[in-house]
């Protein structure tokens, strides 16, 4: 029988009540699992609103240790019950250090480890350097019950080096939880299409499916998130996608044996000239 993996992306809005946000996310996870999804991706920092639009000390109080983060603890039994893998995006505190991180829950509910966001943006509406240290884990891939996955976080998705590193480590699908929308300093700037194209390019140049989950809605700061979550195939074609205001779950199945053969046939990894890339 062919090896397959069925992936899902959640697109929705979030408020300030972490318990309500977790419950909402769990509902979408259950919906995706009913549709056959095996790896289900919520969006970035779904524990609450995207607070990095401004610099306010109060938000440091919403960080938790990775292993005991409320989102992780609440979704562990859900992953086990449904037999699904969930990359859980969190605001992590380790001693005096704060990170934008994620914990990968395997299909038995066990934590496979932590990835900390490598690239931290700093600009109008995305003032993350105030809240997060640059990640110290390096890029990681995860051997899950349903396949070998690579996960980056939001700003990571703009960097071809991150996607290539995960592909070189054997990732079969790349996942990017995201929180992106309007640019407060320039109302005419719409990054939706280049945001998609950057990741579609990763799919093409690594012959690998890409899954991106973004949030929607206008939050208290006035930041408007443009959704447009998608699943792209190895050609970069959008095989599943949402518009800017859609709410729900995208689900798609991929044939891993086909992808392995197709990746080998293209020769992108065979023909690399690493002596010139240093």
Which positions are catalytic?
44, 117, 154
| Count of Cβ atoms closer than 10 Å to residue 193 Cβ | 9
DSSP, residue by residue, the chain: ---EEEEEEEE----S-HHHHHHHHHHHHHHHHHTT-SEEE--TTTTS--GGGS--GGGGGG-B-STT-HHHHHHHHHHHHHT-BEEEEEEEEETTEEEEEEEEE-TTS-EEEEEE-S---EETTEEGGGT-PPPSS---EEEETTEEEEE--GGGGG-HHHHHHHHHTT-SEEEEE---B--TT-TT---HHHHHHHHHHHHHHHT--EEEE--EEE-TTS-EEE---EEE-TTS-EEEE--SS--EEEEEEEEHHHHHHHHHHHTTTTT--GGGT-
């Amino acid at each position: 029988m062919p090896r397959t993996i069925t992936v899902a992306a959640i697109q929705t809005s979030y408020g300030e009540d972490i318990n309500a946000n977790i419950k909402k996310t769990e509902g979408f996870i259950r919906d995706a699992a009913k549709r056959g999804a095996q790896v289900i991706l919520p969006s970035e920092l779904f524990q609450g609103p995207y607070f990095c639009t401004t610099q306010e000390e109060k938000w440091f109080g919403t960080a938790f240790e990775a292993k005991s983060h409320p989102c992780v603890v609440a979704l562990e039994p859900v992953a086990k019950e449904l037999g699904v893998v969930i990359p859980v995006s969190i605001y992590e505190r380790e001693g005096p250090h704060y990170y934008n991180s994620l914990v990968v829950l395997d299909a038995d509910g066990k934590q496979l480890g932590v990835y900390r966001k490598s690239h931290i943006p700093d600009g109008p509406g995305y003032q993350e350097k105030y809240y997060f240290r640059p990640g110290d884990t390096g890029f990681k891939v995860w051997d899950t019950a349903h396949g070998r996955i690579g996960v980056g976080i939001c700003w990571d998705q703009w960097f071809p080096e991150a996607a290539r590193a995960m592909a070189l480590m054997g990732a079969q699908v790349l996942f990017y939880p995201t929180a992106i929308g309007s640019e407060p300093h320039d109302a005419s700037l719409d990054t939706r299409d280049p945001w998609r194209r950057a990741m579609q390019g990763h799919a093409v140049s690594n012959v690998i499916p890409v899954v991106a989950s973004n949030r929607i809605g206008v939050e208290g700061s006035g930041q408007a998130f443009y959704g447009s979550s998608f699943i792209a195939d190895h050609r970069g074609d959008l095989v599943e996608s949402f518009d800017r205001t859609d709410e729900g779950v995208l689900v798609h199945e991929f044939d891993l044996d086909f992808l392995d053969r197709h990746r080998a046939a293209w020769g992108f990894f065979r023909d690399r000239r690493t002596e010139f890339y240093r």
